[in-house]
Structure 1
Amino acid sequence: MPILAILGLADPAGMDWGRLRALQYAQIVATSRVRMVVHAACALLVMWLYAGVAPAWIIGLFAAVLMGTLVLALRSDKEFSTDGQIRVGREQVLRRARTTGAVALAWCVPVAGFAVFGGDAERASTGLVLAVLILGSTLALGAAPMATAVFGGITGLAAIATFAWFGQFGAAMSMVVLLVAVAYGVTSVAHIHITASLAQAGVAEQSEVVSLLLREFEENEADWLWQIDLNRRIRGASPRFAFALGKPIEEVEGMPFLELISGEAWETGQFPPSLHDLADRLKRRESFSNLLVKVSIGREHRWWELSGTPILDNSGAYAGIRGVGSDVTEQRESSEKIAYLARYDTLTALPNRLMLTEALGDALRYAEQWRTRCAFLMIDLDRFKSVNDSLGHLVGDKLLAQVSARLKALMGESELCGRLGGDEFAIVIRDASDRGSLERVARSVIARLSQPYEVDHHTLYVGASVGSAIGPRDGNTVEELMRNADLALYRAKDDGGNEHRSYEPSLHANAEERRQLEFALRQALEKSEIELVYQPVVDSRTEAVVSFEALVRWNSAHHGPVSPGKFVPIAEDTRLIVPIGTWVLEQACREATRWPEHVRVAVNVSPEQLFEPDFASAVVRALTASGLDARRLELEVTESIFLRDPSVARASLEQVMALGCTVALDDFGIGYSSLGYLRKISFSTIKVDRSFVQGAAQNSAESLAIIRAVVAMADSLEMTTTAEGVESAEEAELIRKLGCTKIQGYYFGRPMQADDALKLFRRRRADVEERLRA
């Protein structure tokens, strides 16, 4: 540490010298009164020595000057009071040095002035008094060496000069040695004092920080300090700890720790496992950290997180355990809730997809270990979408809750049911070694879920389709089993629903074929692979063509001709039916403009098209672009459009009917037939499905009765009827007798190319012209 810095004459970088000087000069204030008394006593002694020797006036002058300088020094000391002052600048140090110099000059009066009147003895005595003052200054102001250096330097040099002047060289040399010793000593003392002060200030600051942290910790709402003795009894309970226990401090102090936190379990001995763990750790006197413990405070169960460290006395013997604790009940409950939400479905309270996959993984491992079988069933509700669309999601959610309750009631010990999402559920059968168990579960699920439901005064009916896969036969991993069960479910839905289908390897081929068809279908329009053919519809009496039904065909470059029964469902599932349907509509309208004006064109409309917001606009664009009269366009829809959202379907159809287009109801009688549909919308035509026509041709009484009823109903509602699938003259005659207005079938023409359809009219016109010439 540089000497100039210790003296206060320099401020080297790297340290807070203002703060260090404040520590140095704090000692000046503490010793100021003592120093004043010492100076006064020494001054009286000197005046006594020279009484009667030196003139009285000079002795009085010394007394007055010394008193004045001491008063100035006392006032200067007050500047270094530490009350609110933590730094001392170099200006203050120099100011204090000047007052010390004034005191030293006052002492030069007896050293040099009195010596003229006295002898060697008086001068030696004065030098001894001065040496006492210098040494006393060293002891009293050693921490502030600048004051000692100034006082000792001025008075010492004056004494040395006086002794040398009067030939007292021994005394002069003694004073020199004293000054050197004092200079060395005061520097060392100052350095030691500064180092010690720094250490003491650091300890005080750390103590203050620790006290602050402990105070903040104690005042924290959730944390506390706790301590137990050798007998595991509470010692030094903190207010927060007593509050956490729900008792006053005086009741907590000295009580057994475990008794306070175990509640009624203290009497019964039925402790939670976490309390057993805590008791064992306390018994073994070991440290622990973040130990989660279930405690009972009164009649309330809480969760605490405790940490503890053994306490050792001065001899190193065990004296108890001290630690910290916090109430983490809310965090624990939140984490439990998060864990529940991660594994259970909130609507149905059934296991969700995550838990089902975990259970299926465990079942697969169990089956592999014990050479058994497990099974995975995927369940999809039939007609659930219509419930959601017609009655709203709230009713749909309540229905799902009832479905989940029925499923849960069907489960056995080795079966777990859960919800995958939407209206899809699943069942994991841990042990499916019994070959009939899988089928029994599937059949019971279909039968139970197909029973009626009562929801908000509505009686609802939904079915269930089930697809299953057996592990490890149908898959060695969870992903394989779930994928294969999904393929089986897809087959069950394709077969009409309300069925159970097991996985078969051929389903993979079908799925792959479907994937390839979907990929090719997405490019079919761009590659001009989609085309239209037209099947004539004739008047049942005159057999004249009154309209054509436009039918879409797909000739794939990779797959060849693809049946509409294959690609239309794919197009509807992927919503490709919307652009395809728009193209069909535009193409059919354009082609119809080449036909006679009394001939209409009928275009099938998918539900996906009908529920598009701009469906009516698409019809308008097709009519406008082609120039076709709207009365010549007939749109054919099936009853399935009313299952999703009857109001939207009705609004869309009424918009196109307002344009002048007509609407035909296709496949009437084979779907969810309801006379309410006929009452809500003014259909122009009802088409009788070919299955009834074939049945009537085979003298089926039911088919004959249905056709007669449809014809009678259509006549009363001023609608026409079209019989589909007529393939012979006998069938045509029968349909004519039953009263159908129009006939469509292979007997009158197969679906044909547009040019072939146009030739029908040319040939008909040629026949008429030939008859007229004849």
Structure 2
Amino acid sequence: MATSAALMAVVPLAAVLFLAIVGGASVAAMLLDGAPVPAGAIAVLTVILGINVLLRGENFLRVRDAEADRAEKDEVVSMLLGEFEESEADWLWQIDTARRVCDPSMRFAGALRASPVDIEGEPFLRLILGDDWQNQEALPVHRQLAEKFTRRESFSSLAVRVVLDGNVKWWELSGMPAYDEQGNFAGFRGVGSDVTEQHESNEKIAYLARYDTLSGLPNRMMLTEALAEALRFAEKWRTQCALMMIDLDRFKAVNDSLGHLVGDTLLAQVAKRLNDAMDDNTFCGRLGGDEFAVVVRDVSNPRLLAERGEWLIELLSEPYSVDEHTLHIGASIGSATGPADGTTVEMLLRNADLALYRAKDERGGVYRCYEPTLFAVAEERRQLETALRAALQRGEFHLQYQPIVDARSETLMSFEALIRWHPEGGSPIPPDRFIRLAEETRLIVPIGRWVMERACRDATRWPTHVRLSVNVSAEQLLDPDFSGDVVRALSASGLDPSRLEIEVTESVFLNDADRARRAMEEVIALGCKVALDDFGTGYSSLGYLRKLHFSNIKIDRSFVNGAAQGNIESLAIIRAVVAMAEFLEMATTAEGVEQAEEADLIRDLGCTKMQGYLFGRPMNVSDTDSLFRMRDREPA
């Protein structure tokens, strides 16, 4: 029984069954022979051997299960290592206590562009860093890797710059210290992979996030970081820094006339000139569109800052050559100095922008620095814009009409509609304060639509020979539905189209000349007239007169006043305009006639119409009736 229990423990059920049968039979035989003591001893032995068999069987099964689990894990690890070794970008590496490569795998040797024999026993760091592997000025990541080896610390996903045959690669290494069976340090083992493409992709993404792709200059984010650093430097050393904002003059005209490709090339050339002009104390970038900025780290003298700004304007205003085109643009610059003009990046950006707005307001091509009054002006402008947006809904606008008379007979021929703004509970605001703001904010489009509709309706109460002149801004004329607005105003009022004259200035041709010309041609096709206002004071071109048949040319009051004072140039200009208009079968209207002597002179010079305080100030539509009773009602 004892022998069976020892040999059959691996099959515990069979052993226990055997012990039960043999032990039970032996106990029964002893009892039949009248030997109860041996029977009891055999029974105890049988129970002890059974318990022993069960315990040994359980232990055997536990060992077998552990061996099976270990075998399964070994199989999985072997499979994963096989797949890892077959990968094109991953490999295993191993170094000894002297940091020399040992037992290199084929994949690792292939990554180093060598054979396993060539790299066996070579210093690991030298293989990675090349000839500079012992340079004390190595990259921080290389120093970190060396420190990990020295301290025998594990590391994971460490991006390392690798030089192979003069080419730069990036590896991602993970490793841990290895120990032998006695627990002695045996070196390092780990895995590596080539992440060059991923690193370059990340670098490209980081570049795009901080640099402008068109110009190659730092973008707004990097400029704000540089400005913040300059502010910290100024605060630390009790100095001053500055921000100069640059806006290109006449760039939009180039972009619209020659196309965006030429415009982009021009921006790239501007960026190069600007970047070449920088030094260790300055940092430039592109804010967007045709706006650039320069951060000056240390401003020792505000006068020198102004001189530098004016020099940059001269530099950027020199001619450019793009696709066989010689282009002339200019630049305007506004600057703010920190911490005097602002202690934060946002304040300096805002104040430099205000100074730039002032420079642009002076027709550009100048340098202006920030002044505290500019903020007050900007705040006033903001409040004016807010009020202007609500003025139309509140009915705060009204129209006045100024007479235009025949130069010979002084018979009333037409009225020019003039908009007036009287805010509720406030004083009247002159047109020169809000018209330009309305144009800049494009509020002029709905305001101009209201003027057109109201003026046409008012004109229907006048005699049929009296015409109506309505001023139209460039923003209105370039609106896609401008001709539709004219049609709706005429239809709603019933005014004859021949009685409506649209007045435009030469500025309408600056942004999109073709579009403006098409809009005016559509208006002329309706039967309306088109007059060229303020001729000679803007960007005059005889090409406008050749391409469009204007019904009238209005001579600016500055020439009329100059001629009345005997200015030879003004007299010559008026004579030339009158002669040209007669040849082209156009009428001429002299503006700003306030004295009888001026009227006689204008009459002698040959102008066909006159307008000014001498013949009537702007009046409400209700006051026009009395004017008809005072003047000749016959048409010219």
Establish whether TM, by shorter chain, passes 0.5. yes
Q: Are 2:412 and 2:631, in contact at CA under 8 Å, matched by a contact in 1?
A: no
Residue number in structure 2 paired with 1:97: none
Q: Does 1:576 align with 2:443?
A: yes
Report deviation, 1:603.
0.8
Distance 1:271 1:470, change over 3 A: closer
Report deviation, 1:166.
7.1
Deviation per CA, 1:561-619: give whole Å up to 9, x if none.
11111111111121111111100000000000000111111111121111222111111
* Equivalent in 297, 309, 329 of residue 430 of structure 1: 297
Residue number in structure 2 paired with 1:376: 243
Residue number in structure 2 paired with 1:440: 307
Letter in 2 for 1:147: A
Residue number in structure 2 paired with 1:263: 130
Deviation per CA, 1:145-195: give whole Å up to 9, x if none.
333344444565556556766778787666644542342222212222232
In structure 2, C-alpha distance between the alignment counterparts of 1:270 and 1:249, rounded to whole Å: 30
In structure 2, C-alpha distance between the alignment counterparts of 1:432 and 1:268, rounded to whole Å: 39
Letter in 2 for 1:265: D
Q: Does 1:701 align with 2:572?
A: no
In structure 2, C-alpha distance between the alignment counterparts of 1:399 and 1:716, rounded to whole Å: 41
In structure 2, C-alpha distance between the alignment counterparts of 1:177 and 1:417, rounded to whole Å: 100
SS, match of residue 263 in structure 1: helix
In structure 2, C-alpha distance between the alignment counterparts of 1:267 and 1:154, rounded to whole Å: 81
Q: Does 1:513 align with 2:380?
A: yes
Q: Does 1:740 align with 2:607?
A: yes
* Equivalent in 280, 298, 321 of residue 413 of structure 1: 280
Letter in 2 for 1:218: E
Q: Does 1:307 align with 2:174?
A: yes
SS, match of residue 239 in structure 2: coil
Q: Which moved more, 1:152-161 or 1:340-349?
A: 152-161
Distance 1:327 1:582, change over 3 A: same
Structure 2 unaligned residues grouped into runs of 5+? none
Q: Does 1:398 align with 2:242?
A: no
Q: Which moved more, 1:251-260 or 1:199-208?
A: 199-208
Deviation per CA, 1:688-717: give whole Å up to 9, x if none.
111111111111111111111111111111
Residue number in structure 2 paired with 1:725: 592
* Equivalent in 622, 633, 650 of residue 500 of structure 2: 633
Structure 1 unaligned residues grouped into runs of 5+? 1-130, 769-774
Q: Does 1:504 align with 2:371?
A: yes
Q: Does 1:526 align with 2:393?
A: yes
Letter in 2 for 1:278: L
In structure 2, C-alpha distance between the alignment counterparts of 1:631 and 1:484, rounded to whole Å: 50
SS, match of residue 603 in structure 2: helix
Residue number in structure 2 paired with 1:613: 480
Residue number in structure 1 paired with 2:111: 244
In structure 1, C-alpha distance between the alignment counterparts of 2:558 and 2:596, rounded to whole Å: 17
Distance 1:526 1:269, change over 3 A: closer
Residue number in structure 2 paired with 1:757: 624
Letter in 1 for 2:294: I
Report deviation, 1:420.
0.8
Residue number in structure 2 paired with 1:566: 433
**Who wins on radius of gyration, i.e. which is larger?**
1
Deviation per CA, 1:80-130: give whole Å up to 9, x if none.
xxxxxxxxxxxxxxxxxxxxxxxxxxxxxxxxxxxxxxxxxxxxxxxxxxx
In structure 1, C-alpha distance between the alignment counterparts of 2:412 and 2:544, rounded to whole Å: 28
SS, match of residue 635 in structure 1: strand
Distance 1:558 1:144, change over 3 A: farther
Deviation per CA, 1:545-572: give whole Å up to 9, x if none.
1111111111112542111111111111
Letter in 2 for 1:237: P
Report deviation, 1:370.
2.6
State how 1:550-565 maps to structure 2 within 5 Å.
550-557=417-424, 559-565=426-432
In structure 2, C-alpha distance between the alignment counterparts of 1:466 and 1:642, rounded to whole Å: 26
State how 1:25-104 maps to structure 2 within 5 Å.
none
Report deviation, 1:140.
4.8
**TM-score (normalizing by structure 1):** 0.78
Report deviation, 1:203.
2.9
| Structure with greater helix percent | 1
Distance 1:632 1:211, change over 3 A: same
SS, match of residue 522 in structure 1: helix
Distance 1:541 1:250, change over 3 A: same
> What is the CA RMSD across the aligned residues, in angstroms?
2.4
Residue number in structure 1 paired with 2:85: 218
Letter in 2 for 1:566: R
Residue number in structure 1 paired with 2:345: 478
In structure 1, C-alpha distance between the alignment counterparts of 2:11 and 2:448, rounded to whole Å: 102
Q: Which moved more, 1:328-337 or 1:541-550?
A: 328-337
SS, match of residue 466 in structure 1: strand
Distance 1:266 1:468, change over 3 A: closer
Deviation per CA, 1:626-663: give whole Å up to 9, x if none.
00011111111111111111221112111121111111
Letter in 2 for 1:500: Y
Distance 1:491 1:267, change over 3 A: closer
SS, match of residue 562 in structure 2: helix
Residue number in structure 1 paired with 2:537: 670
Q: Which has the higher contact order (CA 8 A, sep 6+)?
A: 2
Residue number in structure 2 paired with 1:604: 471
State how 1:527-546 maps to structure 2 within 5 Å.
527-546=394-413
Distance 1:266 1:416, change over 3 A: closer
Q: Does 1:659 align with 2:526?
A: yes
Instruction: Tell me how many residue pairs correspond in the alignment.
Output: 634
Deviation per CA, 1:30-53: give whole Å up to 9, x if none.
xxxxxxxxxxxxxxxxxxxxxxxx
Distance 1:569 1:460, change over 3 A: same
Report deviation, 1:515.
0.6
Q: Which moved more, 1:408-417 or 1:519-528?
A: 408-417
Residue number in structure 1 paired with 2:70: 203
Q: Are 2:411 and 2:631, in contact at CA under 8 Å, matched by a contact in 1?
A: no
Deviation per CA, 1:534-555: give whole Å up to 9, x if none.
1111111111111111111111
In structure 2, C-alpha distance between the alignment counterparts of 1:209 and 1:611, rounded to whole Å: 73
In structure 2, C-alpha distance between the alignment counterparts of 1:471 and 1:371, rounded to whole Å: 11
Report deviation, 1:209.
3.7
In structure 2, C-alpha distance between the alignment counterparts of 1:731 and 1:335, rounded to whole Å: 74
In structure 2, C-alpha distance between the alignment counterparts of 1:418 and 1:527, rounded to whole Å: 45
**TM-score (normalizing by structure 2):** 0.94
State how 1:241-390 maps to structure 2 within 5 Å.
241-265=108-132, 272=139, 274-390=141-257
Q: Which moved more, 1:404-413 or 1:347-356?
A: 404-413
Q: Are 1:630 and 1:660, in contact at CA under 8 Å, matched by a contact in 2?
A: yes
Deviation per CA, 1:458-511: give whole Å up to 9, x if none.
222211111111222212222112111111111111111111111111111111
Report deviation, 1:255.
2.1
In structure 1, C-alpha distance between the alignment counterparts of 2:269 and 2:340, rounded to whole Å: 33
* Equivalent in 550, 553, 563 of residue 683 of structure 1: 550
Report deviation, 1:338.
2.5
In structure 2, C-alpha distance between the alignment counterparts of 1:481 and 1:267, rounded to whole Å: 47
SS, match of residue 391 in structure 2: coil
Q: Are 2:417 and 2:469, in contact at CA under 8 Å, matched by a contact in 1?
A: yes
Letter in 1 for 2:200: E
Q: Are 2:391 and 2:397, in contact at CA under 8 Å, matched by a contact in 1?
A: yes
Residue number in structure 1 paired with 2:12: 145
Deviation per CA, 1:511-547: give whole Å up to 9, x if none.
1110110111111011111111111111111111111
Q: Are 1:275 and 1:295, in contact at CA under 8 Å, matched by a contact in 2?
A: no
Distance 1:232 1:726, change over 3 A: same
SS, match of residue 355 in structure 2: helix
In structure 1, C-alpha distance between the alignment counterparts of 2:626 and 2:539, rounded to whole Å: 39
SS, match of residue 103 in structure 2: coil
In structure 2, C-alpha distance between the alignment counterparts of 1:646 and 1:143, rounded to whole Å: 103
In structure 1, C-alpha distance between the alignment counterparts of 2:24 and 2:466, rounded to whole Å: 139
Residue number in structure 2 paired with 1:234: 101
Letter in 1 for 2:323: D
